[in-house]
Amino acid sequence: MARHFDVHPQNPQPRAITQVVAMLRDDDALIAYPTDSGYAFGCRLDSHTGADRIRWIRHLDDRHHFTLVCADFAQLGQFVLLDNAEFRAIKASTPGPYTFILKATKEVPRRLAHPKKKTVGVRIPNHPVAIALVRELGEPLLSSTLVLPGLDEPLTEGWQIKEHLDHQIDAVVDAGDCGSEQTTVVDWSDGYPEVVRVGAGDPSRFE
């Protein structure tokens, strides 16, 4: 059964954050946690099972772009290649509900980057719980939107997620309803911005 952590959405309790991060580090855990664009799956970058478990739960193939959820811009810059234009545009848009697809550096495990393009998604969410988890972990969370096959609507409450995924994930970090509008996705992999999904973030600055 998944452990349930009830955390404050604005001031997450340090003890709960520490316990969740210990599970990620010590138990190779797969968690559900809140972001500014709904709940997401999360695990460590070097998890031996996390990415495959997410693919299995969501019925995804190996072309799926995972997202590295970062605490700040300095951390993001370790995992993707940025030219000056990309740097300025992305820095001006973060933290916020955007996902950027960029060329991955060698810090990204090969199995997590897109097999042909060698790209990866990155984002800095504007949610205190997500930021607290990533800061305590000291590295990005490998993440994917918590969208379940067969359901018409995303799950927006921690108790719903625990009910549906109790035996498939290890922990639910419950900060209440954090919405369900997904991020706006901007693909920079060809050297210019292409909005490939319009979501919560204003796409006009990249059009």
Domain with residue 126: its CATH number is 3.90.870.10
Q: Which residue has the higher pLDDT, 130 or 61?
A: 130
Other Cβ atoms less than 10 A from the Cβ of 49: the count is 12
- Categorize the per-residue pLDDT at 151 as very low, low, confident or very high, splitting at 50, 70 and 90: confident
pLDDT at 113: 79
Nearest Cα residue to 17 out of 2, 1, 34 = 34
30-39, 54-63, 81-90, 173-182: which is most confident? 30-39
DSSP 7-49: --SSS--HHHHHHHHHHHHHS---EEEEEBTEEEEEEETT-SS
Distance CA 147, CA 128 (A): 22
Query: Using an 8 Å Cβ cutoff, are 159 and 6 in contact?
Result: no
According to DSSP, residue 117 is labeled: T
pLDDT at 196: 95
Quote the tokens at residue 80. Answer: 């993707």
Q: CA end-to-end span of the chain, whole Å?
A: 45
pLDDT at 52: 92
- The predicted model gives 157-162 an average pLDDT of 92
Q: Tell me phi and psi for residue 128, to 5 degrees.
A: -60, -35
Task: Count structural domains, the chain.
Answer: 1
pTM, 2 dp: 0.93
- The predicted model gives 144-154 an average pLDDT of 86
Report the largest interatomic distance among the alpha carbons of the chain, rounded to a whole angstrom. 47
pLDDT at residue 62 above 80? no
Query: Using an 8 Å Cβ cutoff, are 102 and 5 in contact?
Result: no
Query: Using an 8 Å Cβ cutoff, are 46 and 26 in contact?
Result: no
pLDDT at residue 63 above 80? no
**Any idea how long the chain is?**
207
pLDDT at 114: 76
Domain that holds residue 164: 3-206
